[in-house]
Amino acid sequence: MNTNTEALRQHPFLEGLDPALIEKLAGIAAPARFAAGEFLIRAGEAADIFYLLLEGEAVVEVYSAEHSPVVIQKLKGGEVVGWSWLVPPHKWEFDVQAKTAVKAMALDALKLRELFKEDYQLGYEIIYRFTAVVAGRLHSTRLQYLDLYRIHYLVGQNT
C-alpha cells in the first residue's frame, strides 16, 4: 500500500469507502503542504482540486471591501477543503487560508470528474459524502451572516 493510499484510507471523509475506490483516488492524489498564511484556495480561481486536511488549521473566508475578510468556518485536520469543483462553472466562491502549517492530500478534481463517468459507484460515494460538507458550509455561512446582521443592527440602534 503506497503512502497516498494510506493517507486517504485514514481520512475521516473516506471512512468506510471500499478499498478499491480508495486505490482509484490514490491515483489522482498528491501530498500538499502550506505554510501559515498561505492560501489553499482563492475566490474566483478555477476549482480543479480539493484537499483532505491531514494536519493543521485553515479558515474559509469571504472578502469584504468594507472591512477585513469574514471567517465563515474554521477547518482542521480530518476535514475537507473545497466543493466548488462539483458545480459549474467550477470557480472557487471563497478563500481558504492556512492559519497554521497545513498538511493535506490534494485530489485532482478534473480527473475525478472523469472517473465518475467510468465508475458510478465512486461518483455516488464521493457526492454523497460531499453533501454533508456542502450543508455544513452553508449552515456556517448562514450563522456568520446572521451574526453580522445582528451586530450591524445593534450598532445602528446605538447611533
Bridge partners for 59 per DSSP: 74, 97
pLDDT by residue for the chain (159 residues), tens only, comes to 578 999 999 999 999 999 999 999 999 999 999 999 999 999 999 999 999 999 999 999 887 777 778 888 899 999 999 889 999 999 998 899 999 999 999 999 999 999 999 999 999 999 999 888 777 767 666 776 666 566 555 556 665
The burial of 8, by beta-carbon neighbours within 10 Å (0-12 exposed, 13-18 middle, 19 or more buried), is given as buried
Given this model, what pLDDT does residue 147 score? 64
Beta bridge partners of 41: 96
> What pLDDT score does 2 carry?
79
Which sequence spans correspond to the domains of the chain? 3-157
pTM of the model: 0.84
Which H/E stretch holds residue 19? helix 19-26
Contact 110, 82 (CB under 8 A): no
pLDDT at position 52 is: 97
Number of neighbouring beta carbons within 10 Å of residue 20: 10
pLDDT at 152: 55
Give dist(CA 83, CA 72) in Å, integer: 15
| Of 28, 35, 53, the residue nearest 109 (C-alpha) | 28
pLDDT of residue 39: 97
**Can you give the pLDDT at residue 69?**
83
pLDDT, position 106:
98
Q: What is the predicted pLDDT for the residue at 8?
A: 97
Q: Is 93 helix (H, G, I), strand (E, B) or coil?
A: coil
Q: What is the CATH number of domain 3-157?
A: 2.60.120.10
